[in-house]
Amino acid sequence: MIMSRKNMIGAVLLAILAPQLLPAQQQQMTLHNVSGETFDVPLRKALPVDAPRVRYPGFKQETLILKAGTVRREGAMPLPCDILLERDIPIKLRDGVTIYTDVFRPVNEENCPAILAWSPYGKEIGGQMLDDVPMRSGVAISATSGLEKFEGPDPAYWVAHGYAVVNPDKRGAYMSEGNLLYWGHEDALDGCDVIEWIASQKWCNGKVGMSGNSWLTVSQWFIAAEQPKHLAAIAPWEGFCDHFRESSHRGGIPMPEFPEMIAETFSSAHGMLEDQPRMIVEQPFMCSYWEDKAARLENITVPAYVVASYTNSVHTHGTFAGYRRISSEKKWLRVHDSNEWYDYYSPENVEDLRRFFDHYLKNIDNGWEQTPKVHLSVLNPGGKNIVNRVENEFPLARTKYTKLYLSAADSSPSTSLPQKETISSYQSESRQPKVTYRFRMTKPTEITGYMKLHLWVSAPDHDDMDLAIKVEKLSKDGKPFFDPTGATIAATGYMRASMRQLDTLRTTEAEPYYTYTTEQKLKPGEIVPLEIEIWPMGLMFDKDEILQLTVEAYRPAAAAIPFGSARISIPKEGYTYQPGNNVDLVTLGGNENQCADPKEVVTSPATHNAGKHCIYTGGRYDSYLYLPVIPEK
């Protein structure tokens, strides 16, 4: 066949452009881990910077003095002092990629320490804001200045106390060059580059701390593990440390719903986005990629102020694990009883964090090191929570573990193994595929720490099963308790039966640890024991109140936080303005349903549930709930 000159030129151009024209899920990039091993990961499109949902306030390299008393937006806290703002400062990373950062610092030229907030959420405003969350999660607009990036420290407070706050757009975010990465060795090296850049600035005293919650906490685990020279202290405020085990594949079940929701909010002007939701469904076993998403916590030696809670469905386990496993000799844990955002911006907690940073970033002798190592909360739904109880460690050394043996469904567990064997079952596709067990407390009881469920099961109609476990407190008359959002207050666990293989070196009596490297399908008629990890919890029970255990067929839950929906008005020029002045404003946001490419959206894979699930108790089948009971001091 003879090809015309025009068609030949077109074919050549098509060949040159082909990599760019492939569907995003087929485009890949190569990453490497700390050992130098390389692996390919898929890429997807990110939203453009002019998409309403990402609320990008624009690229503008300028230096401003933000005057005391001015505001960033209507209703926000007025600035308590003058602030020097340097916008969109370029930072060249080790491989030549340029990213951009905002720096808020005192107007004088005295050296000061800096606090780094590392995330892809925008230097301020951005695609995720508390305004998108119902009731702003209890944080009033007036509680912060609006200069902070989402989940990060408020520059207005910290600059007023002699600190700089550095808010970068990490690699690939907004106008920063490159592809946008999740956590891992390469992203951590980027963070190290920025820390060393900060320390080299003439205004810096050479000491850098890190602060923030969620993504900003996860980043701290990874970056601190690389031991950058000028990182002096960290404050991880709720964040997982092993993405596979604690977020994407709890119990071996792929759970892309929450990561997909977050991925759809990201924006990049120059690159693409590491398609982690796709990796969740395409790489369901532990591999080099997922090993790179587990922080090397034992490498962390800097002082650490760690904050955790029992009720965060993403971060609870990882925050406690981070505190326990880091090698820092100077580390503190505080367990609160509210939510991560409310706790992070509460004035008394900000003041406490400043005492920590004052000591380690400013060398102020303020007695911080005499602070008790652990401040613990214990939840008491229907009553008064215990808050800030002083302890020496976590888990508590005085814990008395107790086995509650299960018998027939809807019956009361016992502290002794029932002799009679029973089988309880449900149809996994039914409207209420579950069984429950209730234990009425005979005296006031505290349960605080790690739980597990040892459960004998079979799936007569299938070769696998996905289970969801819930441990909660009920009132004396059997009614559940709810938090302010309407959710039940419960400790949870998940397990795919075929992923039950334990790592015998890391498993303890109270804490199962799975390999996730092999699949053990159920054989017809096979009855197997599962060791199901239940995340840490602290619960108080009064006499006659009820502990309820629920075993049910797992079903994916939609993640539907309307990020990008709130409309935020800020000044077109000048950054801040005097409250009440008539200034030209630009309004950002208002489209939470926008995504870069609907064809790239990752949906939940089918569960491994089909037909009947059977639970075996009593006699040969010692199914039990393992409880951490805490005696009084």
Q: What is the pLDDT of residue 26?
A: 66
Copy the structure tokens of residue 43. Answer: 């890429």
DSSP-derived secondary structure for 347-394: HHHHHHHHHHHHHHHH---SSGGGS-SEEEEEB-TTS--EEEEEESSS
Query: Residue with structure tokens 């005499």?
Result: 370
Regarding whether 187 and 74 lie in a shared domain, the answer is yes
Regarding whether 318 and 203 lie in a shared domain, the answer is yes
Calpha distance 582→559 (Å, rounded): 39
For 520-542, give one letter per residue: b (16+ CB within 10 A) or e: eebeeeebbebbbbbbbbbbbbe
Regarding whether 325 and 445 lie in a shared domain, the answer is no
Regarding whether 324 and 422 lie in a shared domain, the answer is no
Task: Compute the residue count for the chain.
Answer: 633
Regarding whether 95 and 54 lie in a shared domain, the answer is yes
For 271-291, give one letter per residue: b (16+ CB within 10 A) or e: bbbbbbbbbbbebbebeebbb
Classify strands 273-274 and 38-44 as parallel, antiparallel or unpaired: antiparallel
Q: Give every residue of the chain whose pLDDT is below 70, as ranges.
A: 1-26
The CATH number for 508's domain is 2.60.120.260
Query: Residue with structure tokens 């005192």?
Result: 106
Q: What is the pLDDT of residue 17?
A: 33
Regarding whether 506 and 426 lie in a shared domain, the answer is yes
Domain hosting residue 278, numbered range: 39-371
Q: Are 628 and 451 in contact (CB under 8 A)?
A: yes
The DSSP secondary-structure symbol of 248 reads: I
Residue 356 domain-assigned?
yes
Residue 383 domain-assigned?
no
pTM of the model: 0.94
Regarding whether 223 and 360 lie in a shared domain, the answer is yes
Helix or strand run (H / E) with residue 200? helix 185-200
Q: Are 82 and 65 in contact (CB under 8 A)?
A: yes
Calpha distance 483→491 (Å, rounded): 13
Calpha distance 401→414 (Å, rounded): 14
Q: Are 145 and 130 in contact (CB under 8 A)?
A: no
Calpha distance 57→426 (Å, rounded): 53
Residue 30 domain-assigned?
no
Copy the structure tokens of residue 343. Answer: 């706790």
Q: What is the pLDDT of residue 591?
A: 82
The CATH number for 130's domain is 3.40.50.1820
Q: What is the pLDDT of residue 10?
A: 36
196 Rama sector, left if φ>0, alpha if ψ -120 to 50, beta otherwise: alpha
Q: Are 270 and 177 in contact (CB under 8 A)?
A: yes
Question: For helices 316-325 and 215-225, what crossing angle results, to 10°?
Answer: 20
Q: Which residues pair with 98 in a beta bridge?
A: 92
Regarding whether 365 and 405 lie in a shared domain, the answer is no
Regarding whether 433 and 356 lie in a shared domain, the answer is no
Residue 457 domain-assigned?
yes
- Domain total in the chain: 2
Q: What is the pLDDT of residue 13?
A: 32
Regarding whether 494 and 367 lie in a shared domain, the answer is no
Q: What is the pLDDT of residue 46?
A: 97
Regarding whether 141 and 76 lie in a shared domain, the answer is yes
